Copies of this chain bind each other. A is one copy, B any other.
Amino acid sequence: MTITGSTSARDRATIEDVAVAAGVSVATVSRALRGLPNVAWSTRERVSRVADELRYRADPSASRLATGRSRSIAIAVPLLNGWYFSQVLAGAEAVCAEAGYVLVVMCVADRAGRRGLVDATTSIDRRVDGIVFVDIPLHGDDLGTIAQTGLRTVTIGQSTDLFPSVGIDDVAVGELATEHLLELGHRRIGVIGGQAEDQINFVVPQLRQQGVERALATAGVAADASLQVGGSFSVAGGREAMTVLMQAPEPPTAVFAMSDEMAFGAILAARESACHVPDDVSIVGVDDHDVAVVLGLTTVRQRVSEVGARAARLVLDQLEGVEVPIGRYESPIELVVRETSRKPRRRP
Protein backbone atom coordinates (compact mmCIF):
# COMPACT_ATOMS: atom_id res chain seq x y z
CA MET A 1 0.00 0.00 0.00
CA THR A 2 1.28 3.41 -0.85
CA ILE A 3 0.29 6.96 -0.37
CA THR A 4 0.26 9.22 -3.34
CA GLY A 5 -0.23 12.90 -3.62
CA SER A 6 -3.87 12.41 -4.36
CA THR A 7 -4.99 11.64 -0.83
CA SER A 8 -7.90 13.96 -0.30
CA ALA A 9 -8.97 15.75 2.82
CA ARG A 10 -12.44 15.27 4.15
CA ASP A 11 -14.34 18.42 3.34
CA ARG A 12 -14.14 20.70 6.28
CA ALA A 13 -17.07 22.82 7.33
CA THR A 14 -16.96 26.44 6.21
CA ILE A 15 -18.41 29.39 7.97
CA GLU A 16 -21.32 29.22 5.60
CA ASP A 17 -22.18 25.68 6.60
CA VAL A 18 -22.39 26.86 10.15
CA ALA A 19 -24.45 29.87 9.20
CA VAL A 20 -26.97 27.76 7.35
CA ALA A 21 -27.15 25.13 10.05
CA ALA A 22 -27.64 27.78 12.69
CA GLY A 23 -30.06 29.78 10.62
CA VAL A 24 -28.08 33.00 10.74
CA SER A 25 -25.79 34.92 8.43
CA VAL A 26 -22.09 34.28 8.12
CA ALA A 27 -21.38 37.64 9.64
CA THR A 28 -23.19 36.64 12.78
CA VAL A 29 -21.33 33.39 12.94
CA SER A 30 -18.06 35.23 12.62
CA ARG A 31 -19.01 37.66 15.35
CA ALA A 32 -20.43 35.02 17.64
CA LEU A 33 -17.46 32.74 17.39
CA ARG A 34 -14.95 35.48 17.97
CA GLY A 35 -16.70 36.81 21.00
CA LEU A 36 -17.44 40.18 19.45
CA PRO A 37 -20.14 42.32 21.00
CA ASN A 38 -23.63 42.75 19.57
CA VAL A 39 -24.65 39.15 19.48
CA ALA A 40 -27.60 37.86 21.42
CA TRP A 41 -26.71 35.43 24.14
CA SER A 42 -29.01 32.81 22.66
CA THR A 43 -27.66 33.29 19.17
CA ARG A 44 -24.10 33.08 20.32
CA GLU A 45 -24.95 29.96 22.24
CA ARG A 46 -26.61 28.25 19.32
CA VAL A 47 -23.96 29.24 16.84
CA SER A 48 -21.13 27.91 18.93
CA ARG A 49 -22.99 24.69 19.55
CA VAL A 50 -23.56 24.19 15.86
CA ALA A 51 -19.97 25.11 15.12
CA ASP A 52 -18.83 22.50 17.58
CA GLU A 53 -20.98 19.83 16.08
CA LEU A 54 -19.68 20.63 12.65
CA ARG A 55 -16.14 20.76 14.04
CA TYR A 56 -15.84 24.11 12.40
CA ARG A 57 -12.67 26.11 12.67
CA ALA A 58 -12.02 29.26 10.75
CA ASP A 59 -9.55 28.72 7.95
CA PRO A 60 -6.34 30.45 9.01
CA SER A 61 -5.45 31.60 5.52
CA ALA A 62 -8.82 33.06 4.80
CA SER A 63 -8.74 34.74 8.14
CA ARG A 64 -5.25 36.05 7.59
CA LEU A 65 -6.24 37.35 4.20
CA ALA A 66 -9.17 39.25 5.64
CA THR A 67 -7.57 40.57 8.80
CA GLY A 68 -3.90 40.70 8.04
CA ARG A 69 -3.17 38.58 11.09
CA SER A 70 -1.85 35.05 10.88
CA ARG A 71 -1.64 34.32 14.57
CA SER A 72 1.79 32.91 14.17
CA ILE A 73 5.28 34.18 14.75
CA ALA A 74 8.69 33.05 13.62
CA ILE A 75 11.88 32.45 15.49
CA ALA A 76 15.17 32.65 13.65
CA VAL A 77 18.17 30.86 15.05
CA PRO A 78 21.67 30.27 13.72
CA LEU A 79 21.42 26.56 14.46
CA LEU A 80 18.92 24.18 15.87
CA ASN A 81 21.02 21.59 17.56
CA GLY A 82 22.67 23.13 20.52
CA TRP A 83 21.43 23.27 24.06
CA TYR A 84 20.99 27.00 24.24
CA PHE A 85 18.76 27.25 21.22
CA SER A 86 16.56 24.37 22.17
CA GLN A 87 15.95 25.98 25.52
CA VAL A 88 15.06 29.28 23.92
CA LEU A 89 12.77 27.49 21.53
CA ALA A 90 11.07 25.64 24.33
CA GLY A 91 10.42 28.85 26.19
CA ALA A 92 9.10 30.62 23.15
CA GLU A 93 6.93 27.75 22.03
CA ALA A 94 5.27 27.48 25.42
CA VAL A 95 4.28 31.13 25.33
CA CYS A 96 2.97 30.88 21.78
CA ALA A 97 0.97 27.76 22.41
CA GLU A 98 -0.52 29.30 25.49
CA ALA A 99 -1.61 32.30 23.46
CA GLY A 100 -2.93 30.24 20.59
CA TYR A 101 -0.12 31.24 18.30
CA VAL A 102 1.86 28.99 16.07
CA LEU A 103 5.65 29.02 16.04
CA VAL A 104 7.65 28.78 12.85
CA VAL A 105 11.33 27.99 13.13
CA MET A 106 13.88 29.19 10.65
CA CYS A 107 17.50 28.28 10.75
CA VAL A 108 19.59 30.96 9.10
CA ALA A 109 22.90 29.21 9.43
CA ASP A 110 25.15 29.48 6.43
CA ARG A 111 22.17 30.55 4.32
CA ALA A 112 24.34 33.11 2.66
CA GLY A 113 24.96 35.54 5.48
CA ARG A 114 23.53 38.99 5.20
CA ARG A 115 21.57 38.73 2.01
CA GLY A 116 20.21 35.37 3.03
CA LEU A 117 18.96 36.72 6.30
CA VAL A 118 17.02 39.60 4.92
CA ASP A 119 15.79 37.35 2.20
CA ALA A 120 14.51 34.83 4.66
CA THR A 121 12.86 37.56 6.62
CA THR A 122 11.01 39.14 3.77
CA SER A 123 9.99 35.73 2.55
CA ILE A 124 8.48 34.81 5.88
CA ASP A 125 6.93 38.21 6.08
CA ARG A 126 3.22 37.77 5.43
CA ARG A 127 3.31 34.27 6.79
CA VAL A 128 3.82 35.44 10.35
CA ASP A 129 2.95 38.50 12.38
CA GLY A 130 6.20 38.80 14.24
CA ILE A 131 9.65 37.37 14.63
CA VAL A 132 12.33 36.89 17.22
CA PHE A 133 15.94 36.80 16.16
CA VAL A 134 18.07 34.69 18.43
CA ASP A 135 21.73 35.61 18.42
CA ILE A 136 21.70 36.60 14.84
CA PRO A 137 23.88 39.54 13.99
CA LEU A 138 21.69 42.28 12.55
CA HIS A 139 23.53 45.04 10.77
CA GLY A 140 22.30 48.52 10.08
CA ASP A 141 20.78 47.97 6.67
CA ASP A 142 19.15 44.73 7.73
CA LEU A 143 17.44 46.47 10.57
CA GLY A 144 15.81 48.94 8.28
CA THR A 145 14.64 46.30 5.87
CA ILE A 146 13.24 44.25 8.69
CA ALA A 147 11.49 47.23 10.23
CA GLN A 148 9.89 47.98 6.87
CA THR A 149 8.25 44.61 6.75
CA GLY A 150 6.11 45.73 9.64
CA LEU A 151 6.84 42.51 11.49
CA ARG A 152 6.78 42.91 15.25
CA THR A 153 10.35 42.12 16.06
CA VAL A 154 12.34 41.25 19.18
CA THR A 155 15.97 40.27 19.35
CA ILE A 156 17.68 37.97 21.80
CA GLY A 157 21.33 38.68 22.47
CA GLN A 158 22.15 41.72 20.43
CA SER A 159 20.28 44.90 21.26
CA THR A 160 19.36 47.47 18.65
CA ASP A 161 17.61 50.77 18.83
CA LEU A 162 14.73 49.73 16.66
CA PHE A 163 13.40 46.73 18.53
CA PRO A 164 13.06 45.53 22.08
CA SER A 165 15.67 42.99 23.02
CA VAL A 166 16.11 40.44 25.74
CA GLY A 167 19.12 38.68 27.08
CA ILE A 168 21.60 38.85 29.88
CA ASP A 169 24.36 41.23 30.88
CA ASP A 170 27.01 39.57 28.78
CA VAL A 171 29.76 41.84 29.97
CA ALA A 172 28.95 40.81 33.51
CA VAL A 173 29.10 37.18 32.43
CA GLY A 174 32.68 37.61 31.32
CA GLU A 175 33.55 39.57 34.40
CA LEU A 176 31.95 37.15 36.79
CA ALA A 177 33.76 34.16 35.38
CA THR A 178 37.05 35.97 35.18
CA GLU A 179 36.85 37.45 38.63
CA HIS A 180 36.20 34.02 40.00
CA LEU A 181 39.29 32.71 38.33
CA LEU A 182 41.34 35.71 39.39
CA GLU A 183 40.24 35.33 42.98
CA LEU A 184 41.38 31.76 42.91
CA GLY A 185 44.77 33.10 41.97
CA HIS A 186 44.88 32.48 38.26
CA ARG A 187 46.79 34.94 36.11
CA ARG A 188 47.00 33.23 32.75
CA ILE A 189 43.43 32.81 31.68
CA GLY A 190 42.52 31.36 28.32
CA VAL A 191 39.26 32.22 26.63
CA ILE A 192 37.31 29.96 24.34
CA GLY A 193 34.55 31.80 22.54
CA GLY A 194 33.27 33.02 19.26
CA GLN A 195 36.12 34.79 17.60
CA ALA A 196 35.95 36.46 14.25
CA GLU A 197 35.91 33.18 12.37
CA ASP A 198 32.62 32.19 13.91
CA GLN A 199 29.87 33.73 11.86
CA ILE A 200 27.33 32.63 14.41
CA ASN A 201 26.89 35.07 17.20
CA PHE A 202 28.79 38.19 17.10
CA VAL A 203 28.00 40.70 19.72
CA VAL A 204 27.48 38.24 22.53
CA PRO A 205 30.98 36.76 22.49
CA GLN A 206 32.35 40.22 22.01
CA LEU A 207 30.63 41.53 25.10
CA ARG A 208 31.71 38.60 27.19
CA GLN A 209 35.22 39.19 26.01
CA GLN A 210 34.95 42.78 27.13
CA GLY A 211 33.91 41.55 30.52
CA VAL A 212 36.94 39.35 30.68
CA GLU A 213 39.21 42.21 29.79
CA ARG A 214 37.60 44.53 32.23
CA ALA A 215 38.06 42.08 35.06
CA LEU A 216 41.62 41.48 34.02
CA ALA A 217 42.32 45.20 33.88
CA THR A 218 40.76 45.77 37.26
CA ALA A 219 43.02 43.14 38.69
CA GLY A 220 45.98 44.64 36.92
CA VAL A 221 46.57 41.54 34.87
CA ALA A 222 47.64 41.94 31.26
CA ALA A 223 45.38 40.32 28.69
CA ASP A 224 47.09 37.96 26.29
CA ALA A 225 45.47 37.82 22.88
CA SER A 226 47.20 34.56 22.14
CA LEU A 227 45.06 32.97 24.81
CA GLN A 228 41.82 33.65 22.95
CA VAL A 229 40.54 30.96 20.64
CA GLY A 230 37.24 30.50 18.85
CA GLY A 231 35.22 27.45 19.71
CA SER A 232 32.15 27.77 17.50
CA PHE A 233 29.93 27.16 20.51
CA SER A 234 30.03 23.41 20.17
CA VAL A 235 31.62 20.54 22.04
CA ALA A 236 33.84 19.74 19.11
CA GLY A 237 34.87 23.37 18.73
CA GLY A 238 35.68 23.66 22.42
CA ARG A 239 37.80 20.60 22.22
CA GLU A 240 39.86 21.92 19.35
CA ALA A 241 40.22 25.28 20.98
CA MET A 242 41.45 23.73 24.19
CA THR A 243 43.96 21.66 22.30
CA VAL A 244 45.36 24.81 20.79
CA LEU A 245 45.51 26.53 24.13
CA MET A 246 47.37 23.70 25.76
CA GLN A 247 49.98 23.75 23.04
CA ALA A 248 50.83 27.35 23.76
CA PRO A 249 54.41 27.96 24.89
CA GLU A 250 53.02 29.01 28.21
CA PRO A 251 49.58 27.42 28.57
CA PRO A 252 46.87 29.02 30.66
CA THR A 253 46.20 27.72 34.16
CA ALA A 254 42.53 28.44 33.71
CA VAL A 255 40.13 28.64 30.81
CA PHE A 256 36.86 30.48 30.45
CA ALA A 257 34.64 28.93 27.82
CA MET A 258 31.77 31.11 26.71
CA SER A 259 29.33 28.22 26.71
CA ASP A 260 29.09 25.01 28.66
CA GLU A 261 29.19 22.95 25.54
CA MET A 262 32.56 24.42 24.63
CA ALA A 263 33.63 23.86 28.22
CA PHE A 264 32.70 20.20 27.87
CA GLY A 265 34.87 20.00 24.80
CA ALA A 266 37.67 21.66 26.72
CA ILE A 267 37.38 19.11 29.50
CA LEU A 268 37.59 16.37 26.94
CA ALA A 269 40.66 17.86 25.31
CA ALA A 270 42.32 18.28 28.67
CA ARG A 271 41.74 14.68 29.55
CA GLU A 272 43.04 13.54 26.20
CA SER A 273 46.27 15.39 26.93
CA ALA A 274 46.52 13.87 30.37
CA CYS A 275 45.98 17.31 31.71
CA HIS A 276 43.99 17.16 34.90
CA VAL A 277 41.01 19.36 35.60
CA PRO A 278 41.14 21.25 37.91
CA ASP A 279 44.60 20.38 39.20
CA ASP A 280 46.38 21.38 36.05
CA VAL A 281 43.79 23.67 34.58
CA SER A 282 40.56 25.19 35.80
CA ILE A 283 37.56 25.51 33.51
CA VAL A 284 34.53 27.74 33.74
CA GLY A 285 31.59 27.73 31.35
CA VAL A 286 28.39 29.63 30.75
CA ASP A 287 24.77 28.45 30.74
CA ASP A 288 24.46 25.76 33.37
CA HIS A 289 23.60 23.14 30.83
CA ASP A 290 21.82 20.10 32.27
CA VAL A 291 25.02 18.15 32.03
CA ALA A 292 27.16 20.77 33.72
CA VAL A 293 26.38 19.36 37.12
CA VAL A 294 27.32 15.88 35.93
CA LEU A 295 30.75 17.06 34.94
CA GLY A 296 31.04 19.23 38.02
CA LEU A 297 31.47 22.24 35.78
CA THR A 298 31.75 25.66 37.35
CA THR A 299 29.62 27.95 35.27
CA VAL A 300 27.73 31.18 34.94
CA ARG A 301 24.11 30.17 35.01
CA GLN A 302 21.44 31.90 32.99
CA ARG A 303 17.76 31.10 32.66
CA VAL A 304 17.63 30.45 28.97
CA SER A 305 14.09 29.28 28.49
CA GLU A 306 12.89 32.32 30.38
CA VAL A 307 14.69 34.47 27.88
CA GLY A 308 12.95 32.70 25.03
CA ALA A 309 9.61 33.01 26.74
CA ARG A 310 10.14 36.68 27.43
CA ALA A 311 11.03 37.41 23.85
CA ALA A 312 7.98 35.63 22.51
CA ARG A 313 5.83 37.42 25.05
CA LEU A 314 7.14 40.77 23.87
CA VAL A 315 6.28 39.96 20.29
CA LEU A 316 2.78 38.93 21.28
CA ASP A 317 2.37 42.00 23.44
CA GLN A 318 3.09 44.21 20.48
CA LEU A 319 0.60 42.27 18.43
CA GLU A 320 -1.99 42.66 21.12
CA GLY A 321 -1.46 46.36 21.18
CA VAL A 322 0.32 46.48 24.49
CA GLU A 323 2.83 49.27 24.58
CA VAL A 324 6.28 47.78 24.52
CA PRO A 325 9.14 50.15 25.15
CA ILE A 326 12.13 49.59 22.93
CA GLY A 327 14.75 48.60 25.39
CA ARG A 328 16.62 45.81 27.01
CA TYR A 329 15.04 43.16 29.15
CA GLU A 330 17.71 41.53 31.21
CA SER A 331 17.55 38.14 32.82
CA PRO A 332 19.65 37.43 35.91
CA ILE A 333 22.88 35.47 35.89
CA GLU A 334 24.61 33.68 38.69
CA LEU A 335 27.98 32.05 39.23
CA VAL A 336 27.70 28.39 40.15
CA VAL A 337 30.94 27.10 41.58
CA ARG A 338 31.53 23.40 41.21
CA GLU A 339 34.61 21.24 40.86
CA THR A 340 36.30 22.34 37.68
CA SER A 341 37.70 25.51 39.15
CA ARG A 342 40.33 25.60 41.86
CA LYS A 343 43.36 27.64 42.74
CA PRO A 344 46.31 27.07 40.47
CA ARG A 345 48.88 24.56 41.51
CA ARG A 346 52.15 26.22 42.37
CA ARG A 347 54.51 25.66 39.51
CA PRO A 348 57.37 23.33 40.36
Least Cβ–Cβ distance between A238 and chain B, in angstroms: 10
**Residues from chain B with Cβ under 8 Å of A235 in the complex:** 290-291, 293-294
Which of A1, A10, A86, A97 has the most B CB atoms < 10 Å from its CB? Answer: A86
Knowing A127-B102, A295-B294, A319-B5 are in contact, say whether A90-B80 is a contact too (CB < 8 A): yes
| Cβ contact within 8 Å between A107 and B93 | yes
Within 8 A of B (CB), among A52-102: 55, 57, 59-62, 64-65, 70, 72, 79-83, 85-87, 89-90, 93-94, 97, 102
| Cβ contact within 8 Å between A2 and B323 | yes
Flag whether A106 is at the interface (Cβ < 8 A). yes
A124 and B295 alpha carbons, distance in the complex (Å): 41
**Residues from chain B with Cβ under 8 Å of A124 in the complex:** 102
| Cβ contact within 8 Å between A80 and B65 | no
- Please classify the interface of chain A as helix (H, G, I), strand (E, B), loop, or mixed, using the class held by over half of its residues: mixed
| Cβ contact within 8 Å between A127 and B267 | no
| Cβ contact within 8 Å between A149 and B60 | no
Within 8 A of B (CB), among A252-281: 261, 264-265, 267-268
| Cβ contact within 8 Å between B294 and A125 | no
Contact of A8 among B82, B150, B305 (CB under 8 A): B150
Which of A83, A87, A152 has the most B CB atoms < 10 Å from its CB? Answer: A83
Least Cβ–Cβ distance between A283 and chain B, in angstroms: 12
Flag whether A225 is at the interface (Cβ < 8 A). no
Least CB separation from A55: chain B residue: B122
**Residues from chain B with Cβ under 8 Å of A7 in the complex:** 150, 152, 318
Flag whether A9 is at the interface (Cβ < 8 A). yes
Least CB separation from A60: chain B residue: B127
Flag whether A223 is at the interface (Cβ < 8 A). no
| Cβ contact within 8 Å between A323 and B55 | no
A164 and B261 alpha carbons, distance in the complex (Å): 35
**Residues from chain B with Cβ under 8 Å of A293 in the complex:** 235, 268
Flag whether A324 is at the interface (Cβ < 8 A). yes
| Cβ contact within 8 Å between A111 and B97 | yes
Flag whether A228 is at the interface (Cβ < 8 A). no
**Residues from chain B with Cβ under 8 Å of A6 in the complex:** 321
Flag whether A335 is at the interface (Cβ < 8 A). no
A-B contact pairs, 17 of them (CB 8 A): A5-B318, A5-B320, A6-B321, A7-B318, A9-B150, A12-B126, A57-B123, A57-B125, A61-B65, A62-B65, A72-B104, A89-B89, A97-B107, A103-B104, A104-B104, A104-B105, A235-B293
